[in-house]
Chain A
């Protein structure tokens, strides 16, 4: 695993315009950064990232299977009681899932350590599936990168196939897609999935989360008053379950993407559960619920809210004292604790690897760099190659 400097493509910003990649620069700071790339060996990719990604996914599903059957655990996962039955039904029906992203700390050797599972609303999908693919294509064509260079990135191909399989499962030919207003990044992510859906033969409609309506017959509707039959929502289940229309979810009879059973995976309580069920697994970090903190033998721990995004409200605790803290609006549902394990550093950059799954297949990686050991929403995205 190397960080290699390379000249940027001269025309990449114009290309980004042409392809509708609007969020390469956010708030005046670079988000997409092609002044360098990461280089992996095929062995590193296949043995240290691809195989563990699929293994961990299986372990996560074992956790879901246990939690849906236990009221005590559903409570620990802070899932409102109103949704227990729906989650259990959705799991027993095997409602199909689309994608997830596992975040790893990996130093180029030894086991990659799982930080968390973004199983409900992962972003940086467009940058990973399409934009870094195009970067490699063009840098190879320009002779800047060796011809035999590859990339761990079959995301787009797999998403297209998976969407077709989901359409077949539900016997549908159209899907709705939704995200919140006023965010180019989320809109871009959802537009990318709409493009993949089109490629798989589906027709697609878009509605903002805030614009979703509740119709007389109990269905949800878009702004044109079309019934929402199938909805990909880039909006967390834990929010939806606590909002006004949450009570109407059951009767609306929507085919949800992600399915509601993913409430259990996109939840930091997953981490202590994994550690309980698969103790000392090489790809896991020790993790504890708040009420079992006395069991922790580690002197340095990371405290994470049960629900949080983009590194918000995470603190690093050493011998009981907070040594590093990221602010944010989360934490009212409680916290979990995870053994401290640092990200690798390349110069001043702390580098996090996102490892993608489409359904249960490992489908590629993405790399984020942050100047802080806690990767937050202003971290930069860098492409990678396999050589």
Chain B
């Protein structure tokens, strides 16, 4: 592998390497709880409006509309919430936030940028969820489809995607995990040994 070309990574996207939201939201939305799915990924599509959906699926115009309305409600319920407009705009971009009034007071939320739909044709019923995106240069969400809990669904130029069943199931009530804690006992044993591993890491 001898060569004279540069020997280091050509470029690294520094924005995407930043860890802290420049400003932390009050609430990060509710991360949905899902069933242990032993099944496969599903096809999903993102639409930016009811018309966008209807144009793609003329036979499902009514579903496009109800799914949109569901997503709007879900967006308000679970989307990220900020104390001030400027906090919200730092993350999502100028003019991308709106004020929401509640009994408990007012806060700021990003505008819904689209909604994800899957199983539109299924007799068992479709599933929809709100999508957000950021126009802010300083945000790792810039030009990405982002779910209410901050899940990154990829580049926002993409309109169709495979998503795991878990990102579609909204609120299952059953868990099928039988037991936990079956890994990690060696660490507890070795940690109690004493002072050598001061850091407590188990890499090498």
Chain A residues engaging chain B, CB cutoff 8 angstroms: 17-20, 23, 26-27, 42, 45-47, 50-51, 54, 101, 118, 120-124, 129-130, 133-134, 136, 150-157, 173-174, 179-183, 185-186, 189, 191, 195, 198-199, 201, 203, 208-217, 219, 221, 224-227, 234-236, 239-240, 242-245, 248, 266, 309-310, 312, 326-330, 361-362, 364, 376-378, 386
Q: Can you show 16 pairs from A to B with CB atoms below 8 A apart?
A: A26-B199, A121-B202, A123-B204, A150-B6, A203-B164, A212-B182, A213-B179, A216-B36, A217-B176, A224-B32, A225-B176, A236-B202, A239-B187, A310-B204, A329-B196, A377-B201
A195 to B16, CA, bound (A): 8
Instruction: Tell me, yes or no, whether B125 is within 8 Å of chain A by CB.
Output: no
Q: Which of B32, B198, B201 has the most CB of A within 10 A?
A: B201
Q: A150-B8, A185-B201, A213-B177 are in contact. Are A245 and B17 (CB under 8 A)?
A: no
Are A213 and B180 within 8 A (Cβ)?
yes
User: Nearest chain A CB to B153's CB is how many angstroms away?
Assistant: 7
Interface residues of B in 120-157 (CB under 8 A from A): 151-154
**Cβ contacts under 8 Å, A236 to chain B:** 186, 202
- Nearest opposing residue in chain B for A182, CB measure: B200
Verify if B98 is at the interface (C-beta below 8 Å from A).
Answer: no
User: Which residues of A lie under 8 Å from residue B197 when comparing CB positions?
Assistant: 309-310, 312, 328-329, 377
For the residues of A in contact with B, the DSSP-based class is mixed
Q: Compute how far the CA of A156 lies from the CA of B12 in the bound complex, rounded to whole angstroms.
A: 8
* Cα(A237)–Cα(B182), bound, Å: 14
Pick the contact of A186: B177, B195, B198, B201 (CB < 8 A): B201
A245:B182 contact, CB within 8 angstroms: yes
Provide the bound-state CA to CA distance between A350 and B67, in Å. 64
Number of A-B contacts (CB under 8 A): 230
Q: A217's contact among B6, B36, B164, B204, by CB below 8 Å, is which?
A: B36
B177 shortest CB reach to chain A, Å: 4
Residues of B within 8 A of A244 (CB): 181-183, 185
Chain B: interface residue count, which band?
Answer: 35 or more
Q: How far is the CA of A2 from the CA of B181 in the complex (A)?
A: 48
Q: Are A225 and B34 in contact (CB under 8 A)?
A: yes
10 A-B pairs closest in CB distance? A20-B19, A123-B203, A245-B182, A329-B193, A213-B177, A239-B186, A210-B184, A244-B182, A157-B9, A213-B180
B35 within 8 A of A: yes
A201–B154 touching, CB < 8 Å: yes
B2 touches A122 (CB 8 A): no
- In angstroms, Cα B7 to Cα A154, docked, is 6
The answer to whether B77 has its CB under 8 Å from any CB of chain A is no
Instruction: Please name all residues of chain B whose beta carbon is closer than 8 Å to the beta carbon of A183 when the two chains form the complex.
Output: 199-202
Contact status A150-B7, CB under 8 Å: yes
Check A225–B20 contact: CB distance below 8 A. no
In the complex, are the beta carbons of A18 and B164 less than 8 A apart?
no
Asked if B13 is at the interface (CB within 8 A of a chain A CB), the reply is yes
Question: In the complex, which residue of chain B has the Cβ closest to the Cβ of A313?
Answer: B196
A30 to chain B, nearest CB (A): 13
Are A226 and B34 neighbours in the complex by a CB distance under 8 Å?
yes
Q: Does B31 contact A (CB under 8 A)?
A: yes
Known A-B contacts A130-B17, A310-B197, A327-B194; the reply to A210 vs B7 at CB < 8 A is no
Contact assessment for B36 and A219 in the assembled complex, using a CB-CB cutoff below 8 Å: yes
B18 interfacial by beta-carbon distance below 8 Å: yes
- CA–CA, A157 to B10, complex, Å? 8
Partner of B152, one of A198, A235, A312: A198
A213 touching B8, Cβ below 8 Å: no
Query: Contacts A195-B17, A225-B33, A328-B197 given: A185-B179 contact, CB under 8 Å?
Result: no
